[in-house]
Amino acid sequence: MDWEYNQTRLYVYVSDTYTDTLRPYCLRFSNNINPFFTDEEMITIYLFGVTEGHSQIKKIYGHAKKYLWKFFP
């Protein structure tokens, strides 16, 4: 399986889980009421970065910016 398929599966799983279970427990620490991305997208990018072996937020951001920009603009 390629990484794009795995990333899509992860996003669907996160989206379903977030909607069913996580939403009441998540709190956005920003006063921005119109963000450019959803909580589901952010969680997916973070988890995908961790599965790719990145442990620091800066490295996950760099990986997402390099490879995932077409999926999460």
pLDDT digits (tens, 9 = 90+) for 11-32: 889 888 888 888 777 766 667 7
Which residues span the domain enclosing 69? 1-18+41-73
For 8, list phi and psi in degrees, rounded to 5.
-65, -45
**Model pTM?**
0.70
pLDDT of 1 above 60: no
Segment 40-61, tens digit of pLDDT: 888 888 888 888 888 888 888 8
Confidence (pLDDT) at 71 = 67
> 5 in a domain, yes or no?
yes
- The total domain count for the chain is 1
Confidence (pLDDT) at 39 = 82
> 65 in a domain, yes or no?
yes
Given a contact cutoff of 8 angstroms between Cβ atoms, the answer to whether 64 and 49 are in contact is: yes
> 36 in a domain, yes or no?
no
